[in-house]
Structure 1
């Protein structure tokens, strides 16, 4: 591979990580190369585990060396995440004690949470705790611990110790990578431990994520797919991935 190819692919990865997406047409103009050259670069970067191909381009894969911050996530795939959040509300089934995970998609879920009966929401997300505080029929329990700057989520011993004292009706959990082979994965062991603790303490578990996470693998596994009763994603997931997930026994709701 030529030096120019190496430099070009570095620009592509940096652009994807900064903006949350690498579009073929945009990169073609930016790099002054053909769309076919960009597609070859994206294919190579996907094989290297740095990007994940989606329709019209690619998105960054979040592993040990890279994790996008909450601000970036809040601008990525908003329409898809909004549909997922709306679909998730329909599956709460009068749960009285709910764990809501950290992340942009969970903020959208919290924005739609207006229970008719008293509901306790446990979360490790400072942003979600603040947005739900004072909401009618909602009591918020914010987990303690070290707050991660990228996601404003609390992790480590204190968060896990609090979760271990609770009995939850439902945990709504996200992941950076979702695959039949490796299950649900995230880029940080501290995040994985909190998610695993919430799953352990919950009677029901729902996994939610946009389609760009399907088929991807991050660094640390925190759950098998059969730990969840349902996976809610958007209808952008490929038929091949959807069939593979269903064949594993996981129920899908495509929003």
Structure 2
């Protein structure tokens, strides 16, 4: 094939990738007309992007992955709210029944916990996320402690030495963490080194750490590592993660709960 053909395919795939990232998801039948290409060509382009691990597929729907330094803004992640995320949130909140202090990480999935947390007895919740803190204050009567630091507009989370210093002085029962990528070889990763430092500090402040993670995050490595899989007590993910994969991750240390 000519170089011009490959160039056109590359340019088209980059436009498709931008669309998936902006919308938070893509369905073949919905966007073929948008790009004026056949469904077969679109599927081929999506498979090429999936091979590069720039997107992940689940039941015919494609989602962006936070690979390398790319990070999906929280506003776009909300568009990609799925049934998987909601059942993960319910399972996480069930773990809070007998604890008095928890840490909630930044990100869209921790925000999904806020609604179900309304039925829990009053507890102390620590978070680096201004969005999570605001929703907890609006929807619940829990005591909320906001970790200070430099605000990252992409995720509305705080980072840098103010955040890590404050977390170093705290002790919480459970830390509910998120990750942009999860790999046995590469560990838990995130695009920003400053976020990685804050996540590490949060895990060190917790008696036990629980990873809340959609199945599309597994096998993905982002830029900055903040922990090994073996440092986790639990992993909560969807049943879309195969039993074999769950067993492999569980062999590294944590109990893997597929919901």
Per the normalisation by structure 2, the TM-score is 0.90
Contact 1:50-1:61 within 8 A present in 2 as well: yes
Note the C-alpha offset of 1:116.
Answer: 5.0
- How much is the aligned-residue C-alpha RMSD, in angstroms? 2.0
| Counterpart residue number, 1:254 | 258
Partner of 1:185: 189
What does the per-residue CA deviation read over 1:91-130, in whole Å, with 9 as the maximum and x for residues that have no partner? 1242211111111111110222136544111100111212
Is residue 107 from structure 1 mapped to residue 111 from structure 2 by the alignment?
yes
d(CA) in 1 for partners of 2:168 and 2:34?
50
- Does residue 147 of the first structure (1) align with residue 122 of the second (2)? no
Displacement of 1:43 in angstroms is 2.5
Determine the structure 1 residue equivalent to 2:165. 161
Residue aligning to 1:55: 59
Whether 2:27 is the aligned partner of 1:40: answer no
- In structure 2, the residue matched to 1:233 is 237
Q: 1:36 to 1:206 in 2, by over 3 A?
A: same
Q: How does 1:21-32 map to 2 (within 5 A)?
A: 21-32=25-36
Match of 2:201 in 1: 197
Distance in structure 1 (CA, Å) of the matches to 2:247 and 2:38: 34
- Paired residues in the alignment total 255
Secondary structure in structure 2 of the residue aligned to 1:84: helix
Return the alpha-carbon distance in structure 2 between the equivalents of residues 93 and 227 of structure 1: 23
Partners in 1 of 2:247 and 2:35 — Cα distance? 37
After TM superposition, the structure 1 stretch with the greater mean CA deviation from structure 2, 36-45 or 240-249, is 240-249
| CA distance, structure 2, for counterparts of residue 137 and residue 61 of structure 1 | 34
For residue 7 of structure 1, give the secondary structure of its aligned residue in structure 2. helix
1:14 to 1:240, Cα distance in 2 relative to 1, 3 A: farther
SS at match of 2:32: helix
- 198-207 or 208-217: which moved more? 208-217
Bigger drift between 31-40 and 191-200 goes to 31-40
How does the TM-score come out when normalised to structure 1? 0.91
Unpaired stretches in structure 1, ≥5 consecutive residues: none
Q: Distance in 2 between matches of 1:214 and 1:149?
A: 26
Deviation at 1:240, TM superposition (A): 4.6
1:127 aligns with 2:127: no
4-13 or 37-46, which moves further after superposition? 37-46
- Greater alpha carbon shift after TM alignment, 52-61 vs 194-203: 52-61
Question: What secondary structure is seen at the aligned counterpart in 1 of 2:85?
Answer: helix
Change (3 A) 1:217 1:136: closer
Whole-angstrom distance in 1 between the partners of 2:13 and 2:73 = 22
Q: 1:128 to 1:25 in 2, by over 3 A?
A: same
25-34 vs 120-129, greater mean Cα deviation: 25-34
Structure 2 distance, partners of 1:57, 1:133, is 34
Shift of 1:135: 6.3
Structure 2 unaligned segments of length 5 or more: list them: none
